[in-house]
């Protein structure tokens, strides 16, 4: 949520800031702005709405003078989306400017205090208290003022600060919200995400909590709040810059759907050696694993849906009870967690605020935590006991596709690895499952080659008011993700239901013409889901089925999309592909902003 970019060098900062903000659009925002030091004063330009408004206002940044500047895309939390509430924010005198990601929890108390001292606020944001505090505490030394300000803040923040008093510096600070420093030749950068600066550098520092970076054109100095210098190792980003570009596709989402075979192959292949799953990142021994009496899976959004799938897979293959929790609810129900519970947290960004705090709660109660994360060096990856990375590469579209699929791939790897350690998988089954797992990318490629039928079905349903998804067992877990994909990018009301629950109230919503998407891949329950399909058809539903190709008779029940028959464990990875494509085509036919759906953000870094 929100995006920060900053530049100090010898080139005009404006065009780079606008380009960097464009790379951060996927994070979700409702206004954008920049502030540059033109050599005399701090000049702010900001606007409500899409970045193109700001680009038109500034001629893509070319109208802005100055070689030092900060920029921001804002996702509103405190104060409605507006020009005034957009970042950057200036202090009352105009001497200081700040951009901020995060939440200042005690902002009202700070605002009341500053107001009592005569400070006049312009916006309704929590962020403005930061820059007003800096000015209030400034006595000739900017670092001292920033440190004094930090002592007063409660909450989370990533900050970029520039000053008329220190025209050749940018100050950057991080606490519980991601911020990186980019290192160039006679120029340096700050950003909330590496994608914003990949065109300029691949050498970065990742700021840790309570670290302060002081940037000038030639170097970067990092200190703590006692002003002691901190030595950090640089990290080289290996992402292909083309991975953050559309590459000829109309939307990032479609590109990322098509990238899934490669992403899954990249996640699986290095971890299968000589027919065995090898997780070098996991240090747990068989003896330690056998001590666990329960597995808790914690996540949000689509990652939570991966956790629902994992519950079915782990319980069947490991014979250990599994509980899947929404991270936003986990901390507030006094969970029964101790050192006999293995906790698995799943997060694409590794910075999801609710997931991170839930993880800390599990650790405080003694649980061993394994994280499944895409972003190397992210907070959850660093703070968990062990981490397994999904090698999905950058995912730009807000609606996740390849991150979801690579998280599923890691779940399969973990199930096989732990099942082998526990002895709950016999040798022949293990060998067969590993073999099928290695063939998974090829089978997904096959589904993607036959996407035209899904596009045709989308053309029949894109004007629907409501669409329902039903399934049983692991198919129900997939219906949750299919429904979420559709609603978040097409804005069609959609719900997912366990098919066996239809008669307990939900079937009252079915009327003539209501589309129902029935997932019918779980072999043991085909008969039951067929009965449920007949129930909704009797009430006038238009049914679309997703079924395995060993059941051609499903075509007699409703229009059917077939996927290859594989073992039950791997079915979710195949089933999700037509669900993603259906959502994409529906949203495309409706003319929706697919990569940047309204009100949503890619990385949810506030609770």
How confident is the model at residue 74, as a pLDDT? 84
User: pLDDT tens across 352-387, in order?
Assistant: 889 999 999 999 999 999 999 998 878 899 899 999
Sheet containing 341-347: order of strands: 322-326, 294-299, 341-347, 368-373, 386-389
Per the prediction, the chain carries an average pLDDT of: 91
Same fold yes or no, 3-238 and 452-586? no
Identify the helix (H) or strand (E) that includes residue 99: strand 96-104
Give me the sign of the Cα torsion angle 393, 399, 402, 404.
positive
Structure confidence at residue 23 (pLDDT): 83
**pLDDT at residue 121 above 90?**
yes
**What's the whole-number mean pLDDT along residues 238-247?**
66
Q: What is the pLDDT of residues 76-120, one digit of tens each?
A: 777 788 889 999 999 999 999 999 988 898 999 999 999 999 999
330-355 per-position pLDDT tens digit = 988 889 999 999 999 999 988 888 99
Instruction: Confirm if 317 and 419 have CB atoms less than 8 A apart.
Output: yes
Among the listed residues 2, 300, 545, 548, the single catalytic one is 2
Residue 182 has pLDDT above 70, yes or no: yes
Q: Other C-beta atoms within 10 Å of 279: how many?
A: 17
Mean per-residue pLDDT, 502-514: 81
**Under a CB-based contact definition with an 8 Å cutoff, are residues 499 and 472 in contact?**
yes
Q: What is the DSSP annotation of 182-238? A: EE-SS-EEEESSGGGTTTT-SEEEEPPTTEEEEE-SS-EEEE-TT--B-----EE--
**What is the model's pLDDT at position 513?**
86
Task: Tell me the mean pLDDT in the region 398-422.
Answer: 96
- 266: pLDDT strictly greater than 80: yes
pLDDT greater at residue 477 or residue 537: 477
| Model pLDDT, residue 25 | 77
Greater confidence (240 vs 289) lies with 289
What pLDDT is recorded for position 156?
Answer: 85
CA distance 372 to 541: 39
User: Does pLDDT of 26 surpass 80?
Assistant: no
**Mean pLDDT score, 482-493:** 95
What is residue 243's predicted lDDT score, i.e. its pLDDT?
64
Q: What is the DSSP letter of 411?
A: H
Tell me the average pLDDT across 19-23.
89
Compute how many other C-beta atoms are within 10 angstroms of the C-beta atom of residue 246. 13
In the chain, pLDDT over 90 holds for what percent of residues? 70
In contact, 386 and 410? CB cutoff 8 Å: no
Integer Rg of the chain from CA: 25
Residue 2: active-site member = yes
* Dihedral sign of CA atoms 532, 538, 544, 547 in order: positive
| Pairing verdict, β 31-37 and 155-163 | unpaired
The per-residue pLDDT for 1 is 60
Exposure b/e, 328-347, CB count within 10 A at least 16 = b: bebbeeebebeeebbbbbbb
Look at residue 177 in the predicted model and tell me its pLDDT: 84
pLDDT at res. 83: 87
Tell how strand 515-520 and strand 542-548 pair up: parallel
Strand 3-8 to 188-191 pairing: antiparallel
Give the mean pLDDT of 440-453.
Answer: 94
Q: Is the pLDDT of residue 310 over 70?
A: yes
pLDDT for residue 88: 94
Residues 6+ apart with CB under 8 A from 471: 477, 478, 479, 496, 498, 499, 518, 519, 520, 522, 529
Question: How much is the pLDDT for 331?
Answer: 84
Nearest-angstrom CA–CA distance, 537 and 199? 54
Give the Cβ contact number of residue 436 at 10 Å.
Answer: 15
The mean pLDDT of 145-159, rounded to a whole number, is 93
The secondary structure of residue 176, as a DSSP letter, is B
Domain positions in the chain: 3-238, 252-448, 452-586
Do the strands 341-347 and 368-373 form a parallel or antiparallel pair, or are they unpaired? parallel
- Give me the pLDDT at residue 244, please: 61
Long-range CB contact pairs, 387-390, < 8 A, 24+? 387/281, 388/279, 388/281, 388/282, 388/413, 388/414, 389/281, 390/263, 390/267, 390/348
Please work out, in degrees rounded to the nearest 5, the angle formed at the alpha carbon of residue 512 by the alpha carbons of 510 and 514: 55
- % of the chain surpassing 70 pLDDT: 97
The predicted model gives 109-135 an average pLDDT of 94
Active-site annotation holds for 602: yes
Shortest CA distance to 72 belongs to which of 112, 28, 115, 117?
28
Which of 45, 402, 596, 602 is the catalytic position? 602
Q: Using the CB atoms, write b or e for 437-451: b if 16+ within 10 Å.
A: beebbebbeebbeeb
Q: Provide the whole-model pTM.
A: 0.77
- Judge contact between 311 and 265, C-beta under 8 A: no
Whose structure tokens read 């050696």? 273
CA-wise closest residue to 297 among 372, 397, 189: 372
Predicted confidence at residue 27, as pLDDT, reads 66
- At residue 604 the predicted structure's pLDDT band, cuts being 50, 70 and 90, is low
Instruction: Please compute the mean of the pLDDT values over residues 143-169 and round it to a whole number.
Output: 94
79 is written with which tokens? 């104060």
Mean pLDDT (whole number) for 508-534: 89
Beta-carbon contacts of residue 61 (< 8 Å; ≥ 6 apart) = 12, 13, 14, 15, 16, 17, 18, 19, 34, 55
pLDDT confidence tier of residue 240, bands split at 50, 70 and 90: low
Other C-beta atoms lying within 10 Å of the C-beta of residue 105: 13
Structure tokens at 73: 């895309």
452-586 falls under which CATH superfamily?
A: Glucose-6-phosphate isomerase like protein; domain 1 (3.40.50.10490)
Contact 580, 263 (CB under 8 A): no
Q: What is the pLDDT of residues 551-595, one digit of tens each?
A: 988 888 889 999 999 999 999 999 999 999 999 999 999 999 898
Please give the pLDDT value at position 28: 67
Architecture of 252-448 per CATH? Answer: 3-Layer(aba) Sandwich (3.40)
pLDDT at residue 510, rounded to an integer:
81
Question: If 0-12 CB within 10 Å is exposed, 13-18 middle and 19+ buried, where does residue 591 land?
Answer: exposed
Given the candidates 3.60.20.10, 3.50.50.60, 3.40.190.290, 2.60.40.60, the CATH classification of the domain at 3-238 is: 3.60.20.10
Higher-pLDDT residue of 245, 465: 465
């Amino acid at each position: 949520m929100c995006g920060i970019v900053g530049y100090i060098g010898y080139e005009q900062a404006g065009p780079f800031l606008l380009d960097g903000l464009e790379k951060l659009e996927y994070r979700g925002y409702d206004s954008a702005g920049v502030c540059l030091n033109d050599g005399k004063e701090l000049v702010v330009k900001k606007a409500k709405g899409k970045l193109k408004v700001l680009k038109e206002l500034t001629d893509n940044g070319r109208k802005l003078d100055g070689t030092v500047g900060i920029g921001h895309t804002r996702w509103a939390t405190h104060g409605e989306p507006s020009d005034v509430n957009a970042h950057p924010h200036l202090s009352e005198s105009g001497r200081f400017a700040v951009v901020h990601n995060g939440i200042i929890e005690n902002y009202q108390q700070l605002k009341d205090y500053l107001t009592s001292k005569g400070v006049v606020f312009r916006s309704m944001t929590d962020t403005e208290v930061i820059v007003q505090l800096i000015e209030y505490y400034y006595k000739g030394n900017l670092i001292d003022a920033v440190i004094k300000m930090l002592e007063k803040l409660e909450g989370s923040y990533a900050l970029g600060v520039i000053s008329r008093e220190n025209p050749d510096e940018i100050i950057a600070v991080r606490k519980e919200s991601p911020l990186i420093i980019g290192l160039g030749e006679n120029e340096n950068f700050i950003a909330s995400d590496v994608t914003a600066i990949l065109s300029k550098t691949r050498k970065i520092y990742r700021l840790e909590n309570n670290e302060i970076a002081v940037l000038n054109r030639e170097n970067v100095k990092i200190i703590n709040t006692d002003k002691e210098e901190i030595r950090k190792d640089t990290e080289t980003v290996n992402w292909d810059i083309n991975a953050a570009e559309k590459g000829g596709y109309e939307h990032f989402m479609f590109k990322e759907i098509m990238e899934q075979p490669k992403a899954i192959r990249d996640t699986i292949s290095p971890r299968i050696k000589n027919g065995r799953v090898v997780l070098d990142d996991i240090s747990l021994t068989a003896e330690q694993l056998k001590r666990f009496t329960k597995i808790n899976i914690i996540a949000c959004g689509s990652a939570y849906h991966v956790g629902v799938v994992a519950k079915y897979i782990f319980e069947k293959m490991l014979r250990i009870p599994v509980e899947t929790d929404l991270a936003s609810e986990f901390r507030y129900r006094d969970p029964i967690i101790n050192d006999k519970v293995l906790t698995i947290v799943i997060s694409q960004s590794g910075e999801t605020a609710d997931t991170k705090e839930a993880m800390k709660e599990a650790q405080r109660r003694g649980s061993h935590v394994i994280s499944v994360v895409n972003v190397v060096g992210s907070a959850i990856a660093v703070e968990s006991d062990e981490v397994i990375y999904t090698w999905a590469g950058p995912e730009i579209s807000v609606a996740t596709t390849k991150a979801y699929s690579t998280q599923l791939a890691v779940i399969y790897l973990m199930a096989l690895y732990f099942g082998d350690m526990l002895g709950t998988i016999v040798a022949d089954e293990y060998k067969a499952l590993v073999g099928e797992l290695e063939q998974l990318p090829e089978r997904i490629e096959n589904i993607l080659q036959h996407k035209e039928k899904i596009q045709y079905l989308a053309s029949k349903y894109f004007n629907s008011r409501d669409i329902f998804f039903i399934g049983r067992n692991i198919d129900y877990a997939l219906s949750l993700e299919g429904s979420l994909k559709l609603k978040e990018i097409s804005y069609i009301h959609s719900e997912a239901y366990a098919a066996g629950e239809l008669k307990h109230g939900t079937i009252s919503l079915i009327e003539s013409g209501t589309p129902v998407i029935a997932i019918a891949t779980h072999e043991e329950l085909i008969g039951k889901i067929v009965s449920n399909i007949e129930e909704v058809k009797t009430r006038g539903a238009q049914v679309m089925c997703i079924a395995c190709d060993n059941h051609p008779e499903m075509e007699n029940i409703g229009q059917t999309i077939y996927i290859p028959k594989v073992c039950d464990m791997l079915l979710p990875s195949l089933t999700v592909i037509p669900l993603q494509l259906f959502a994409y085509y529906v949203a495309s036919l409706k003319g929706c902003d697919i990569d940047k759906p309204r009100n949503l953000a890619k990385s949810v870094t506030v609770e």
